[in-house]
Structure 1
Amino acid sequence: MHICFITHEYPKPGFPHGGLGSFVKTIGEALAANGIQVSVVGMNYTSEYEELMESGVRIYRLNRSKLKGLSWWMNSKAVSGKIREIHKHHPIDIVESAESGLAFLSKIKDIQYVIRLHGGHYFFAEAENRGINWWKGFQEKRSFAKADAFIAVSKYVKNHTEKYLSYHNKPLGYINNPINTAVFKPMLNDIIPHKIVFAGTICEKKGVRQLIQAFPLVKEEFPDATLHLYGRDWFFPDGASFVAFLKEKELPRLGPVAESVFFQGVLPLSEVAKKYAEAEVCVFPSHMETLGLVAPEAMAIAKPVVFTNRGPGPEIITDTVTGLLCNPLDPNDIAQKILRIFTDKAAASAMGKNAEKEVQKRFSVSELVAENIDFFKSLSKK
């Protein structure tokens, strides 16, 4: 069996990537280790063509078009052409993309096209209470119409996506995203007292601003507390940096407390795991997630985690048992949950241990790769 993933975010040293890239790398390497041929096709981070093999995964990074106004069409055409070329020499059984990835892709007979719901435009528009961009909405509808099957990474994303987009009575699987427990596992690192760690894109919908607003309340009780933010910057439509916005607008309001807030940039996954291990608490107050890889990753290291009570938060964490859930829009509630971890060491330790067991049971690569293979095989028989 040959699976081809479409993503422009496959991790490349020195370049930022998001959760989608991390997911494809984790599942791709696991599939390859189980004898499945895996290819990844996407546009390069730089203006050149690359082809390489990493951990059994064949990666094709295409030359990104710079043609103003038509780059989207040229890039889609390039991806379609590369898939057709690969299929000619190494027949592909499954092509998988995120929500809008099939919109302008030319389908090939005998290949099954799958959309995995990582959180598309309609999903996040509802979550963030904003309007639908007609162009992005058009792409998603067109892409969904082309798909032969769907995979939902959480019940929440499945239910809220279908408010706006039809699955057209096609096969739909429910499979959590896997966690690389070879990287994210309990470590012997010394914990740095009262170190708070966030990882993810530094943007509004990840709750970073509210976390910063919560930090002074924590600092009042624990003067040695520090807040460390790991992840790539996000940019407003006009190109302005969200990190710069936080530094210019939010940090000055904290006064001297701002000196204990650190923007650490992007790190490789192995380094992120070490930073989780150093933390006394990991906090992810997202306004919305489809599933959220960061919370289960930190849980796999047996860390006490504060996660959002919105969306799939309750699917991931049983409040007070495997972690704590917070109102991501309420800095006071975020602060109180952090303080609870700092003040009740026994409960925090118990939640961390329970969290690790839960991740091993529900998110381990070995379990979930088998579910993916079974689902893909069921499609290839059709």
Structure 2
Amino acid sequence: MHLCYLTNEYPKPGQAHGGIGSFLKVICPALAKEGHKVTVINGTDGEREVVEREGVTIIYTPFSYRRGLAWYHNYSAVDREIETLHQNNPIDIVEGSELSFAFITKRKDIAYIIRLHGGHHFFAEGENRKINLWKGYQEKRSFKKADGFIGVSNYVVQHTSKLLSLNNKPVQVIMYPINLGMFEGQDFSKIEPYSLVFAGTLIEKKGIRQLCLAMESVVKAFPQAVLHVYGRDWNDPKGKSYLSYLKSQLSPAILNHVLFHGPVDQKDLPEIYAKANCCIFPSHIETLGLVAPEAMAMKRPVIYTSLGPGPEVVEHGISGWLCDPHSPLSIAQQIIEVFSDPIEMQKRAIAGQIKVNQQFNIKYILPQNLEFYQKVRAGLNFR
């Protein structure tokens, strides 16, 4: 098959990227290795460029970022790339995220699939924000053009379907694959006792404020405890730094136990996780999140959010711990439990690694994607 992915996030070597970039970086080379033709159309603020990496053709097509008609320019640029590709080497599947197809031409001999990574309606509702009418319109228009949907968790499918119609199209939950070659189990001897690791953007919805506030109770029980925070700062529309706000909420005594390291390249995360006595990600809202399963793959104990897809990733009491991300007390209680029982910590860390090696393994996830692609494409013949 010829598979075409629409994104702005396909990572360049050495370039920081988020969850969608990590997903594409794993699945696209794996598909190419299986003999499929894989093309990525990636928006860029630079010149048009076509490169091949790991058997994947990446077309960097120039995007406009000016206000006004940038949307028209960008959709048109992607549409032209699809048309040229399709003429030269017919495309079987075009995949994008929630907004991708709003103004893309619907070609009858191509199957269009939306992967639900978490769209505008999903996060607006989850963060109690008003729907932006323009983005909301684009998302609805895009959904109408889709021939099928893949959800990265049960939660994102169920929640999105309450907000937007999936138009009775085929839907399947297929989780992200993890790079298990990068994130692989490490011996417990590498752990630095009482060290906590958080990785993610410094923003309220990631639960970092509640985690920092939880440190007061943790430090009382374990004075040696240190929280290592990795991630970029976030600025609000007025340019105010969330990191500055966060530090203002903490006492000087607690700030001595919280170290802010700034952004980190994904390739450095395995070494960071390897030293962690516990990795903790108390997000308020997620579609799935990769940091928790990546840390679990390292054979490290993980405390994850009890909300949203959290229970799909971590089974509380078996493969890790779940916390109420809005409650510093709940977060502190789970951390103290991890530190208090090293044997149980190791038991759950081992169970978490086993779970991730099954649930997030490209070996199992790749066939699921291909079967769904073929199913949706076969359905086109009956219209």
Q: Same fold (TM over 0.5)?
A: yes
Distance 1:93 1:265 in 2: 42
Counterparts in 2 of 1:237 and 1:269: CA distance versus 1, 3 Å:
same
Greater than 6 Å deviation, 4+ residue runs = none
Counterparts in 2 of 1:129 and 1:84: CA distance versus 1, 3 Å:
same
SS in 2 for 1:381: helix
The one-letter code sitting in structure 2 at the alignment partner of 1:76 is: Y
Unmatched 5+ residue regions in structure 2?
A: none
Q: Deviations over 1:282-333 (max 9, x none)?
A: 0000001111211111111111100000011111111011000000000111
Tell me which of 311, 330, 336 is aligned to 1:339. 336
Contact 1:48 1:64 in 2 (8 A): no
The one-letter code sitting in structure 2 at the alignment partner of 1:132 is: I
Tell me which of 278, 287, 300 is aligned to 1:303. 300
Counterparts in 2 of 1:28 and 1:244: CA distance versus 1, 3 Å:
farther
The residue aligned with 2:17 is 17
The residue aligned with 1:201 is 201
TM-score by length of 2: 0.94
Contact 1:121 1:136 in 2 (8 A): yes
Counterparts in 2 of 1:134 and 1:343: CA distance versus 1, 3 Å:
same
Q: Deviations over 1:229-265 (max 9, x none)?
A: 2233333223433334324x33xx3213213323323
Q: 1:13 Cα deviation (Å)? A: 4.1
Distance 1:262 1:8 in 2: 32
Are 1:266 and 2:263 counterparts? Answer: yes
Distance 1:333 1:142 in 2: 41
SS in 2 for 1:9: coil
Once the two structures are overlaid, the 10-residue window that deviates more, 185-194 or 282-291, is: 185-194
Once the two structures are overlaid, the 10-residue window that deviates more, 256-265 or 70-79, is: 256-265
Contact 1:50 1:60 in 2 (8 A): yes
**Mapping 1:367-378, distance limit 5 Å:** 367-378=364-375
The residue aligned with 1:226 is 226
Q: 1:43 Cα deviation (Å)? A: 1.4
Counterparts in 2 of 1:219 and 1:51: CA distance versus 1, 3 Å:
farther
Distance 1:136 1:74 in 2: 16
Q: 1:179 Cα deviation (Å)? A: 1.2
Distance 2:198 2:364 in 1: 27
The one-letter code sitting in structure 2 at the alignment partner of 1:278 is: K
> RMSD of aligned C-alpha atoms?
1.7
Counterparts in 2 of 1:50 and 1:238: CA distance versus 1, 3 Å:
farther
Distance 1:33 1:279 in 2: 34
The one-letter code sitting in structure 2 at the alignment partner of 1:131 is: K
Contact 1:62 1:78 in 2 (8 A): yes
Distance 1:285 1:268 in 2: 21
Once the two structures are overlaid, the 10-residue window that deviates more, 259-268 or 359-368, is: 259-268
**Mapping 1:142-157, distance limit 5 Å:** 142-157=141-156
Counterparts in 2 of 1:79 and 1:33: CA distance versus 1, 3 Å:
same
Distance 1:222 1:377 in 2: 54
Counterparts in 2 of 1:245 and 1:317: CA distance versus 1, 3 Å:
same
TM-score by length of 1: 0.94
Counterparts in 2 of 1:85 and 1:265: CA distance versus 1, 3 Å:
farther
Are 1:237 and 2:237 counterparts? Answer: yes
Are 1:128 and 2:156 counterparts? Answer: no
The residue aligned with 1:365 is 362
Unmatched 5+ residue regions in structure 1?
A: none
The one-letter code sitting in structure 2 at the alignment partner of 1:177 is: Y
SS in 2 for 1:232: coil
